[in-house]
């Protein structure tokens, strides 16, 4: 298996520790692939690229942006050190991955030791069920399935977590029978053969039908 980094969202300063962890685990001699398509219709791609450049170029990383993921191949992905999937509308993002079959390609990339960083919506689609975003993101798509790529041990991912979200999470678990990892802005998890480990500036909270558990940075869920 490859290496996944999931972020609960936040600005450049909040995500600094997670970004630094990411940079330490990729090959700086290859460019980073940035996929901002969840922001389509929300923020112009030019602004998305400026943001990614401002985060990663000072750390010595060249950034390549794809705004079209149709007809891509595994060989195309091998040219990059890692893939960064940005935030935006989760429903739109998953739809684009599905219709282009990029979801299957991404799984192949990860199975072959690829490194993927998902921020907010980019993190949520890597979980088991994307309805964790329903309180934030409008769904104007024709998605036939709300299942994510399910790469996090059957957990669903809840980003931008705040304390008053707990009742919504309880309802989600009751409705969809999925456990949840809740990430505040500035909090993340890494997923590798070692397990699921918390990184960033605050604890993650895992919710199941039996209750919740707080996991501090550096510890495994």
pLDDT given at position 47 = 98
The answer to whether 9 touches 87, Cβ cutoff 8 Å, is: yes
Percent of the chain with pLDDT strictly greater than 70: 100
By CB atoms closer than 10 A (0-12, 13-18, 19+), residue 210 is exposed
Q: pLDDT category, 1, cuts 50, 70, 90?
A: confident
- Tokens representing 66 are 């794809």
What is the average pLDDT across 131-155? 97
pLDDT at 175 over 90: yes
pLDDT given at position 144 = 87
Taking the C-alpha atoms of residue 114 and residue 92, their distance in angstroms, rounded to an integer, is 24
- Torsion from C-alpha of 88, 90, 93, 99, nearest 10 degrees: -160
pLDDT at 12 over 90: no
What is the average pLDDT across 142-149? 95
pLDDT given at position 218 = 98
pLDDT given at position 203 = 98
Q: What is the pLDDT of residues 102-117, one digit of tens each?
A: 999 999 999 999 999 9
pLDDT given at position 67 = 98
CATH of domain 3-215: 3.40.50.880
pLDDT given at position 79 = 98
- Please list, residue by residue across 69-107, b when 16 or more beta carbons sit within 10 angstroms of its beta carbon and e when fewer do: beebeeeebeebbbbbbbbbbbbbbbbbbbebebbebbb
Q: Which residues, 6 or more positions from 89, have their beta carbon under 8 angstroms from its beta carbon?
A: 38, 39, 40, 41, 42, 121, 137, 138
Domain definitions of the chain by residue range: 3-215
What is the average pLDDT across 3-12? 96
Sign of CA pseudo-dihedral 76, 11, 43, 146 = positive
pTM over 0.85: yes
**SS3 sequence, the chain?**
CCEEEEECCCCCCCCHHHHHHHHHCCCCCCCEEEECHHHCCCCCHHHHHHHHHHHHHHHCCCEEECCCCCCCCHHHHCCCCEEEECCCCHHHHHHHHHHHCHHHHHHHHHHCCCEEEEECHHHHCCCCEHHHHCCCCCCCCCCCCCECCCCCCCCEEECCCCHHHHHHHHHHHHHHCCCEEECCCCEEEEEECCEEEEEECCCEEEEECCEEEEECCCCEC
pLDDT given at position 3 = 98
pLDDT given at position 164 = 98
């Amino acid at each position: 298996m490859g290496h996944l980094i999931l972020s609960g969202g936040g600005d450049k300063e909040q995500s600094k520790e997670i970004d630094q962890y990411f940079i330490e685990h990729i090959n700086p001699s290859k460019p980073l692939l940035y996929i901002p398509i969840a922001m389509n219709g929300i923020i112009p791609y030019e602004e998305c690229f400026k943001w990614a450049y401002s985060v990663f170029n000072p750390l010595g990383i060249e950034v390549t942006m794809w705004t079209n993921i149709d007809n891509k191949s595994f060989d195309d992905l091998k040219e990059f050190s890692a893939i960064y999937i940005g935030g935006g509308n989760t429903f739109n993002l998953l739809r684009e991955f599905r219709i282009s079959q990029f979801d299957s390609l991404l799984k192949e990339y990860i199975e072959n030791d690829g490194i993927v960083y998902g921020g907010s919506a980019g993190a949520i689609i890597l979980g088991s069920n994307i309805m964790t975003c329903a309180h934030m993101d409008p769904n104007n798509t024709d998605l036939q399935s709300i299942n994510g790529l399910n790469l996090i041990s059957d957990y669903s991912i809840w980003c931008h977590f705040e304390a008053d979200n707990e009742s919504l999470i309880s309802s989600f678990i009751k409705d969809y029978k999925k456990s949840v990892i809740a990430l505040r802005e500035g909090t993340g998890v890494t997923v590798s053969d070692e397990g699921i480990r918390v990184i960033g500036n605050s604890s993650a909270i895992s919710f199941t039908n039996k209750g919740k558990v707080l996991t501090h940075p550096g510890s495994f869920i």
